[in-house]
Structure 1
Amino acid sequence: MAAGLNTERDANLSQSEVEKTLADFDPVKKPKRNKFAFACAILASMTSILLGYDIGVMSGANIYIQDDLKITDLQVAFLVGTLNLYSLVGSAAAGRTSDWIGRRYTIVVAGAVFFLGALLMGFATNYAFLMVGRFVAGIGVGYALMIAPVYTAEVSPASSRGFLTSFPEVFINAGILLGYVSNYAFSKLPTNLGWRFMLGIGAVPSVFLALVVLGMPESPRWLVMQGRLGDARKVLDRTSDSKEESQQRLSDIKEAAGIPEDCNDDVVRVQKQSHGEGVWKELLVHPTRSVRHILICGVGIHFFQQASGIDAVVLYSPRIFEKAGITSSNDILLATVAVGFTKTVFILVATFLLDRIGRRPLLLSSVGGMVLSLTALGFGLTMIDHSHEKLSWAVALSIAMVLAYVAFFSIGMGPITWVYSSEIFPLRLRAQGTSMGVAINRVTSGVISTTFILLYKAISIGGSFFLFAGIAMVAWVFFFACYPETRGRTLEDMEVLFGNFIKWRSALKDAHKKGINGESDGQVQMGTNA
């Protein structure tokens, strides 16, 4: 009987072992999207709606401003383009401000400054007054552009970081669409009131944003840099996919901040560089090989995003459609709404692909499509320019290529710029490194948007888009050669991808082989000990 009991027990044991073994081979379930991190990302990214609204609304408002204030084309160009240059002040200050008062309160500062700028523009009585309002609004835009992707990247778990850090671009596009709709809605008012309502109404969302952001948690990485480990642990527990991931993220952040692993105090003493001291020297004067590669990638992607002509298309779409042969102002404004709608739809598609397909495939496909659509747009506009009769096919081609261009831009180049630049910099350099990328972005955008009218008068409007196509082609080669895939990596693990420039693939393969060999050696050692 005892033998029978032993046999039954052995059978149960072997059955449980089999079940356990089978469980080990079950596919790993993808963690559910963290709703709290999702909410934080949305609220932070909504700050970017301020820039989008300004871009969209100014594309139509500048026509009415020129009629009302009797200003020249050159003054219009400065009015439209200089906000991007003014935003340099905000983006340069935002890096230091966010290290000083925190990421969350920096978002509040962005909303407050833009609110003041929008009011000044809405009540402007002359060109000089309007430019003062543009300057103040530009500072707010600079703050918003830098801080939204940084905060979102630092709060997001690795499994959905691409999805969440693409939100700033989503809201830029939503803002552009709102700006276009505002143009159409207020265009029926008298000229002297219409453009003031278009610009002044932008103050409304900034108040809402500043109040809502106060309910968000602070960035866990900023809290660790201040030595507030207890507070950081609470935020990570709420924004991670699991308890284990929360502990791992905290451990990685502590290592990056120079805090010993065994230190579990709620408040610890952290080196002075937590407020940004010495960071610029490490970035620009004595960078390591990996930091130099990261900096080139972070700055390069921001430069090419704007140098490929997106702001010229968005800001001057009414003029492009007019050159293409659309004569009715009502039809032109409706066509610009179509541009905004297309951008918004395709950026939403991109957010769901970033963590599934990866950054590199989307980026290269996007830029390749931009090259083709810019070339076709340049061809269509050139044919219209050199024809003495209306070419319906060229008009249709030009309109279709404007929509194709913004679609290709939005599915890759638009969101990936913000995702990539916010995730590749090491923790100690992230705020200032990102602010450098934003500064380059705004300078390039300012130059393109300020000089576009002069450019197309000098080399023709078709020639302008051939030029942008050439720049986009150079961008594709640069991205293909120098940009490694970052999908699925933790923020603290990014540096291993960089440092070998165009040879990053072979370096990554060598590191992977070493990792496999190391794992095999460990398994052999364990077997020997057993």
Structure 2
Amino acid sequence: MAHTVATAEPLLALPQKADKPRWNTYAFSCATLASMTTILMGYNLALMSGAQLFIREDLGLSDAQIEVLAGSINVYMLVSILAAGWAADVLGRRGTLVLANAFLMAGALAMSLGGSYATLMAARFVTSIGSGFSVVVTSVYNAEISPASMRGLLSSFLDMFISIGLLLSYVSNYAFAGLPVYLGWRVMYAAGVLPPVFLAVGVLAMPESPRWLAMCERYAEAHAVLVRTSDTAAEADLRLKEIKQAVDATQASDGGSVWKELLIRPSASVRRILICVVGIHFFQQASGIDAIVLYSPLVFKKAGMSSNSAILSATVVVGVFKTCFVLVATLFSDRLGRRPLLLASTAGVAVTMTSLGITLSVGTKSTASVAASISSVLAFMAAFSIGFGPLAGTYSAEIMPLRLRAQGASLGNAVNRLTCGLVSMTFISLADWITVPGCFFLYAGVAAAACVFVYARLPETKGRSLEDMDELFAN
């Protein structure tokens, strides 16, 4: 049965004006350590973009096999994403991140040694377990470790570090492209074997989430973490009191399962939250980001580029643009708010996808058409990265009630990866059916619908405590 607990007045007063966010070095360090695991997720997801050029030649794979191999990791991730909420509650946020690094190391090693389509598919499955755990648990941990004044900044680290991994994968594609065909793509994946070891050690150096500690009734430890991650000692006391109230409310409930409350009998406020979480994750991926991330070499070939070296160098520039513009959301989401950035981002994605479709529709290829296509891709990356990319995870993690947060984050990310898998595993086939420009016109329409969804359904969350979200969505 659904939990029917009255919402208490927020203990932390909402800010009356947009003050400059305070700086908490300890919370910043914790979020950084947690987020670094997602570098490997970004690296493994995007590495196929350039590696597929050489895998196709080395192993003789068909277009259909490449399409499935590139996108399968997103579908595989559904298993670990849906299990991540349970694992995060049982093992703790920190323990689950250590486990994620172990799977990421094993997956990278298996990919580098793979000698057939079947072994590569199996290796992608191993990698997907680590990727799914890392993306869910990092978003939950960063939201829970952050003071309200820095939550937008620290929660956006997830996409920033994924973008760094994406950039490193493009650099790896370019750096090792000159090696023999049978060796180059294997070295690209082998480069991801050792980093998880060091990242796991870093994860062990950070504290557990105060909210998980409170769920385990380890209140003294939770308070110690809150003292170091709050702006003042008084705020730490108030945050702990709010967390205790949320935990007590959960324990005083009828004991119905979390999944039942989420999916079968949600309260009105939970239903509104769920629509926001599922909607923002669906639209983020359905607007075509992975068509660019994974298939930008094919897009650039369609635009008129022929040299592999030139194509891979162009993808590096795409990665640089994405990483740089994520910083806009990282620096300004706590000042400007989530809604303005999401509205600007979704509108920008719609415009730039339309522009890309138009430039690729030009019959005669020339230097100008190539430049226009590359410019459209870069503008798309900029628009996506100022809001849609980093803030989808931030927003969905912070609006979920404590009792539902881990499983709610799993559900949102499951929708995200399923949609991503649908886009990445159908792009080549869809392009054969409606043409490459037609694909981007379709994605532009989805982005326009996303802009309307953000305007109509997503309230501003800037400055509110996590325990105050029930009240926000109850009205």
TM-score normalised by the chain length of structure 1:
0.85
* Structure 1 segment 20-35 matched on structure 2, within 5 A: 32-35=22-25
Work out the CA distance in 2 between the residues paired with 1:328 and 1:28.
50
* Structure 1 segment 81-480 matched on structure 2, within 5 A: 81-258=71-248, 271=251, 278-383=257-362, 387=363, 389-480=364-455
For the Cα contact (< 8 Å) 2:19–2:335, is it kept in 1?
A: no
Larger radius of gyration: 1
1:78 paired residue number:
68
Work out the CA distance in 2 between the residues paired with 1:254 and 1:306.
36
Percentage of matched positions with identical amino acids: 54
For the Cα contact (< 8 Å) 1:56–1:178, is it kept in 2?
A: no
For the Cα contact (< 8 Å) 1:107–1:210, is it kept in 2?
A: yes
Sort the Cα spacing of 1:57 and 1:277 in 2 relative to 1 into closer, same or farther, 3 A.
farther
Query: 1:348 Cα deviation (Å)?
Result: 1.3
For the Cα contact (< 8 Å) 1:57–1:179, is it kept in 2?
A: yes
Which of these residues, 36, 43, 46, is aligned with residue 53 of structure 1? 43
Work out the CA distance in 1 between the residues paired with 2:354 and 2:85.
38
Query: 1:202 Cα deviation (Å)?
Result: 1.4
2:5 paired residue number:
none
1:41 paired residue number:
31
Query: 1:277 Cα deviation (Å)?
Result: 6.6
- 1:203 is paired with a residue whose SS is coil
Which amino acid in structure 1 is aligned with residue 67 of structure 2? A
For the Cα contact (< 8 Å) 1:154–1:221, is it kept in 2?
A: yes
Query: 1:210 Cα deviation (Å)?
Result: 1.0
Work out the CA distance in 2 between the residues paired with 1:203 and 1:390.
41
Query: 1:29 Cα deviation (Å)?
Result: 7.8
For the Cα contact (< 8 Å) 1:51–1:172, is it kept in 2?
A: yes
- Which whole-Å deviations, capped at 9, do the CAs of 1:264-321 have from their partners, x for residues lacking one? xxxxxx94999x9710111111100000000110111111000000000110001100
CA RMSD of aligned residues (A): 1.7
Which amino acid in structure 2 is aligned with residue 180 of structure 1? Y
Which amino acid in structure 1 is aligned with residue 293 of structure 2? V
Query: 1:55 Cα deviation (Å)?
Result: 2.4
- Which whole-Å deviations, capped at 9, do the CAs of 1:378-423 have from their partners, x for residues lacking one? 011011xxx2x33443322211000000110000100110110110
Work out the CA distance in 2 between the residues paired with 1:41 and 1:50.
16
For the Cα contact (< 8 Å) 2:136–2:409, is it kept in 1?
A: yes
Query: 1:497 Cα deviation (Å)?
Result: 1.6
Which amino acid in structure 1 is aligned with residue 400 of structure 2? F
TM-score normalised by the chain length of structure 2:
0.94
- 1:258 is paired with a residue whose SS is helix
Work out the CA distance in 2 between the residues paired with 1:272 and 1:101.
23
For the Cα contact (< 8 Å) 1:31–1:241, is it kept in 2?
A: no
Which amino acid in structure 1 is aligned with residue 418 of structure 2? V
Work out the CA distance in 2 between the residues paired with 1:168 and 1:205.
17
Work out the CA distance in 2 between the residues paired with 1:187 and 1:353.
37
For the Cα contact (< 8 Å) 1:379–1:462, is it kept in 2?
A: yes
Work out the CA distance in 2 between the residues paired with 1:116 and 1:353.
37
Gap runs ≥5 in structure 2: 1-16
Matched, 1:481 2:471: no
- 1:390 is paired with a residue whose SS is coil
- Which whole-Å deviations, capped at 9, do the CAs of 1:422-465 have from their partners, x for residues lacking one? 10000000000000000000000011001100011110100000
| Number of residue pairs the alignment of both structures matches | 459
- Higher relative contact order at CA 8 Å, sep ≥6: structure 1 or structure 2? 2
